[in-house]
Amino acid sequence: MNLRIELSTDTVDGAVTADELGADRIELCSAGELGGLTPGPGLLAAVLARCHRAEVHVLIRPREGGFRYTPSEVDAMLTDVRHAAISGAAGVVVGALTARNELDRAVLADLVAAADGLPVTVHRAIDVSADPVTAVEALVPLGVRRVLSSGGAARAEDGVPVLRRMVAAAGDALAVMACGGIRPHNALAIARATGVRDLHAAPRRRLPPPPPSAVDYGTYAVLDEEAAGALVALARSAEG
């Protein structure tokens, strides 16, 4: 079984670690604890300069919250997609919904066009959509390369039946990449039960808090190198 591992990170150090561990892809974002937002140009440039093995795919998400976007937000997303493409990213990760909670095919078509041939992944907006399986079928004619999903559940383990149907609906036209609580203890079982061959994970550990202060900005989370390394090793051991 040939499994591909994508690791999500919002720091340069996390991306370098993922690259050195042997991840197949890096999903680069900012504000990972908000579900990920579009990374700034400095972060993207630094990661592209230091990561030479893994493909770097850029999350395009202009704000936290849901996935119904105003025209001005769509314009910002189109600009970010074009910037990722000319900067040398290997792909972009996008998503948008209509007021009826269906994938916004018009916006997605514009984002795919802006990518100008760069591989496009549709993110977990599909898990918020009314019917993830039907949504996969709608993506096929748009030229999307992958779709990231937990099968409409909070965790991939709970979305196995839907993920299996999504894989069947996608056929050979696009890849379904499982996400949501993917860890070394469940990755192989999820892959075998659903037929997915791409796994996305964002294992994080929180750093110790700074000394107490009257103005406290708290701490933050970084890529969990141990869990990430174990996932990559598991995927390699499953080959053959």
Place of tokens 């203890």: 185
pLDDT at 1: 82
pLDDT at 218: 82
Kindly report the pTM of this predicted structure: 0.95
Q: Walk along the chain (240 residues) in steps of 10 and give the mean pLDDT of each run.
A: 96 98 98 96 99 98 97 99 98 97 96 98 95 94 97 97 98 97 96 98 91 83 96 89
pLDDT at 191: 98
Task: Give me 87's structure tokens.
Answer: 């900067």
pLDDT at 195: 98
Contacts of 142 (CB under 8 A, 6+ apart): 105, 108, 109, 112
pLDDT at 240: 63
Question: Hey, is 121 helix, strand or coil?
Answer: strand
Structural domains of the chain ordered from first start = 4-121+177-206+213-237 (3.20.20.380)
Q: H-helix or E-strand containing 92?
A: strand 91-94
Burial degree of 113 (CB within 10 A; 0-12, 13-18, 19+): middle
